[in-house]
């Protein structure tokens, strides 16, 4: 009977150990799922950051190209403006174009009303 009691106790210990192992395996499984979820969220955040960086890079390239174009146009405009010569040397060279003609060219036709003022 002593052997039987010892066998029953040993089997009881084995069952308890198996249950503890099962609980540990379940905890490890839950932790692994949580880690997988966290990794998925991190991956999604990195993808979003990458998208923003690509958009910013494209916008920067467009801005640089636009800046170069504006600089080129400014140089061209400067050259065109330098071609203007006043006929009356007594004028100070300070003048203006009527605002109406800048904003409403259809009212002015092809004429721009240039006024040179003496100061």
> What count of other Cβ atoms lies within 10 Å of the Cβ of residue 60?
10
Sorted by sequence, the CB contacts under 8 Å of residue 112 that are 6+ apart come out as: 97, 98, 101, 102
Q: What is the pLDDT of residue 85?
A: 73
Q: What is the pTM of this model?
A: 0.49
Residue 70 CA neighbour count, 13 Å, CB half? 6
Per-residue pLDDT tens digits of the chain, which is 119 residues long: 888 888 988 889 999 999 999 999 999 999 999 999 999 999 999 999 999 999 999 999 999 999 999 999 999 999 998 888 766 555 555 555 544 444 444 555 555 444 444 43
Nearest CA to 113 out of 100, 91, 98 is that of 98
* Pairing outcome for strands 94-97 and 114-117: antiparallel
Q: What is the pLDDT of residue 109?
A: 52
Q: What is the pLDDT of residue 84?
A: 81
**Max Cα distance, the chain (Å):** 134
Residue 46 is encoded by which pair of tokens?
Answer: 């990195």
Q: What is the pLDDT of residue 4?
A: 85
């Amino acid at each position: 009977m002593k052997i039987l009691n010892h066998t029953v106790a040993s089997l009881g210990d084995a069952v308890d150990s198996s249950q503890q192992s099962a609980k540990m395996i379940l905890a490890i499984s839950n932790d692994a799922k949580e880690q997988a979820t966290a990794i998925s969220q991190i991956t999604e955040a990195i993808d979003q950051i990458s998208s923003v960086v690509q958009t910013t890079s494209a916008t920067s390239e467009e801005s640089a190209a636009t800046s170069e174009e504006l600089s080129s146009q400014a140089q061209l405009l400067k050259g065109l403006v330098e071609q203007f010569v006043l006929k009356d040397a007594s004028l100070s060279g300070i003048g203006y174009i009527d605002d109406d003609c800048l904003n409403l060219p259809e009212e002015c036709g092809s004429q721009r009303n240039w006024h040179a003022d003496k100061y």
